[in-house]
Structure 1
């Protein structure tokens, strides 16, 4: 009789348990910091009951006691959670902008017109932060690089970004343009990326060139400044200047200076020739193209002045002569020409005057 009574009570308890229930679609979630997660949930109760209130709780230790604390009273969850369920059977919850402190156990509770029920089981959420790393962090052009993205979540598909642009291969041979800031993300959630990590690619000097502060044709005694430019990482720290004489048939070079700037305060004919700059850093070195400087003798200032005066005289003298001839009085010869006589002779072109002839009586 007692055994029968126990069986009946157990059957009744099972029926009650089946009627009052909370079921979680998944009890273990792993999400990335900054992302969102939805707890899929459903609940049941007797048909003659009606739901008046629902709530989600988080399990927390307070003064050494494990308690369930309603999310709505926790300041850190303000405006970060939304109940997507209803007062019928759906009890789903969405948590947004996840933080590492959100890791923990979550419970559902609902209240009917007669009873309040807590879920016996819970949902466990693990919030992990994506951590990008590069091996090695500093390389020279041509070295192998490996990108790694650490996360506690199981086997998510990771994608990489360099300066905001997608990187197709997590392993590659470094080129100069590969330098930049790299971050990783889960493919399904590209907007949530890890903190960036920098890749520094070293390379020897490139595009070495020489700038001259004035024309390459110089007068003896003038000054000239040559400046060496290059692109390098790290920046070039050694500059060497080489010179080949314009007057020598030999192709031999002489070292004529060091430093990024070569300053020749007073050039001479012997400075005529080609100049080359060599830039060097800890990775390697490169040379510029040849720059030709031509130096000419200086013309003496008195010679320049004398030539200038002669030129002026030659230009002005004809004008002065013409002006003077117009201003001087006319000579007697000119006057006679105007009167029709030349050197005491009558001008044959004029008619002679007829005088009367007197006859004696």
Structure 2
């Protein structure tokens, strides 16, 4: 045989021998541990990989999975550790085991029902392809530990210790709880959440393929929610007389400026002179350890004092309206004004004001009366005028002679003080000293009885 042909034969033979001795690789993907609740079920998510699996399926008549407890040893002659055999659907130690996955598609998810404390152990998954031992393997490198508890784990709040949030900002708080039995998932509920709040619920898959229930609330932070305890409660259904409920609580912290600021007076708002009075400024705020208090009195521009409380001895001028101003890092607020009444000085003050007004009114009346009297006196003083008498040949200037009121016939109305200058009675004199007249009394016109001396030229005056 030529040397070259011999060498080719050696290489081919070695490759065939190596391929026939090479074992397929395989691994399973499932959680390393899971916690189950007694009286419920537990679902184990599971998939696996086997090299050249599809080619093996073509020659296999059946493909099935098995679950082994405590040890990975598979022995049909001593099958106590084989809790599930898919070839014959044999179940040992459990009321029911259901394989949800299709092994031919490399799926091995399985549900164990009616879990008990005695089921806490290490479990292994195994795949077999028959006939003729096409592929048989236990995934010894991928065991899962099932822990069974009588008390479920409490739900998880995120954030579990909510940091301080500013007032009026949007806050999201989520709650999640394990759902080891998705066929009978737990329910979540919230207690003492701010209103209004938006609530969403869903079933979520974790990275290890286990499931959990998830709920989230969204709300706007208010100062009234500060230090409010928010609780998330999870309820697990079980094959017992009562369901199991656990909860987790967190405190909400809200940052906000002063609110509901007001002033209180001790011992009372009405006190006498010499009494010690304490004014206290009360307000809600967060943070509250850096609050500044400033006191004012209405009508005074300068502040009175600083501090949450002020105490002073009441004097005559202590009465009035007081208020405080409170500040922190997030804002300020002014309180409503409160009145401090000093007993024994408030009523005289009011009486003095009323008396002063009355005195001013009386002075005004006196001034008006005096003014009217002066106007009347000035009107009663006669205004001397000139009366022109016409004659055929000449005009003579005649002075107005005495005109006398006949008081005997004056009525009471006529004696009243005239209301204006047009109603004033005038007195005057007419001098006919240069004429010799015979005078005859004649009545004057008007409502009053008026007598005048009417003299004819050249005659002597004669008056009855």
Q: TM-score, normalised by structure 2?
A: 0.36
TM-score by length of 1: 0.45
Higher relative contact order (CA 8 A, sep 6+): 1
Structure of higher CA gyration radius: 2
